[in-house]
Amino acid sequence: MSQDNATGCPFKASGELYLIEPKEGTVLAELGVEKVEKIVKQFYRYNVTVEDTRIFFRGINIERLERMQTVFLVHLLGGREINTRKMRAVHKRLLELNDANFDAVLVNLRQACVDLEVPPNLLEKIMAAAETTRDDVLGRSHFRSLKNRTCM
């Protein structure tokens, strides 16, 4: 088992997700890890091509970012707990990041879910879970933890 030094996210050396056993009754249990991986891939296709978001992804290793985002989304939707402190530190460097930018990223996430035919009830739960990260990503909540934020 390896760990990404930038995020603290665990992953298998093969690149497969370590977080396989979803909590019963969660979005992850209904979607499955493979579907989450597909959502993240589609999400980053939008992030790197849509004018409102692509500037934030220039010069970034997208494959690595997709892996980290998948681990995080799996966690958020009912997977294993992960350390999220490094995630806040990584976003802190984006000093100009604001609510409009976050909203644009959420639009990309929603469209990725629609593209992959995520059922509307699960889509709304995914969006609600993503919304819980707004203050952390925008650097407005230094003392709150994402540890207990899961989408039921």
Q: What is the C-alpha to C-alpha distance for residues 125 and 76, in angstroms, rounded to an integer?
A: 10
Is residue 104 a contact partner of residue 74, using CB atoms and an 8 Å limit? no
Q: What's the residue count for the chain?
A: 152
Q: What are phi and psi of 94, to 5 degrees?
A: -90, 70
Q: What is the C-alpha to C-alpha distance for residues 115 and 88, in angstroms, rounded to an integer?
A: 29
pTM of the predicted model, to two decimals?
A: 0.77
Q: Crossing angle for the helix pair 33-49 and 62-76, nearest 10 degrees?
A: 130
Question: pLDDT digit of tens for each residue in the chain (152 aa)?
Answer: 344 444 444 444 333 444 456 778 899 999 988 999 999 999 999 999 999 999 988 888 999 999 989 988 988 898 877 666 666 666 666 657 889 999 999 999 999 999 999 999 999 999 999 999 898 888 786 544 544 454 54
Complete domains list, the chain, with CATH: 2-137 (1.10.490.10)
